[in-house]
Chain A
């Protein structure tokens, strides 16, 4: 079974721009979660999508948004980029049975904001 895939793997943007990151879950997984990883803050939960609905949200500003499509693929969008948004963005997929599901991670998208 193919793992979680994320595109693009690397991205360089300038302040004020917006960016869209994509995540394709493992086949059969319907829950997709997004995390931001930075050296200063560590791993922080952004949001989770299940059945095209945002089911849970972390403590991030409204510039961070996401969506999920009917095939469970998910995208996250960051608008009006700030220098502090430079990070590794990880998505994880899991089966839909609840919060005890094991999450499997993709390779991440490294975003650099200049």
Chain B
């Protein structure tokens, strides 16, 4: 079965600093996508960034970037210049590459940005 593991239940970072959230996954697929979603206290799940496994280049979206290590099946999220609004639960997710949409999520990492 496809699994996604986030080993850091909670993390904190000072405003303006950089933090990295870890994620490892297990898939037998050769071509797949990986996602990071953010869930702030409002509970709205927001897409942060998406990585296509066949692309060598790490995805970047403004202050958010990933470190994708395909051989190690590692997909970490780096947040630069952390802001108070980044406080949220962050989920790593991978789709099951069968017919239809099905995301498998990690357990999540609570990130607290402190002023």
Q: How many A-B residue pairs have CB under 8 A?
A: 70
Task: Chain A residues near B98: list those with CB within 8 A.
Answer: 56, 99
Cβ B107 vs Cβ A42 within 8 A? yes
Cβ A102 vs Cβ B96 within 8 A? no
A99 in contact with B44 given A42-B108, A43-B105, A56-B102 (CB within 8 Å): no
Task: Chain B residues near A99: list those with CB within 8 A.
Answer: 95-102
Task: Chain B residues near A42: list those with CB within 8 A.
Answer: 105-108
Give the docked Cα–Cα distance between A74 and B108 (Å).
27
Cβ contact of B45, chosen from A55, A58, A100, A105, cutoff 8 A = A105
Taking Cβ atoms with an 8 Å cutoff, the residues of B that contact A are 32-33, 35, 37, 42-47, 50, 52, 91, 95-108
Taking Cβ atoms with an 8 Å cutoff, the residues of A that contact B are 31, 33, 35, 42-43, 45, 48, 50, 55-56, 58, 88, 90, 92, 94, 99-108, 110
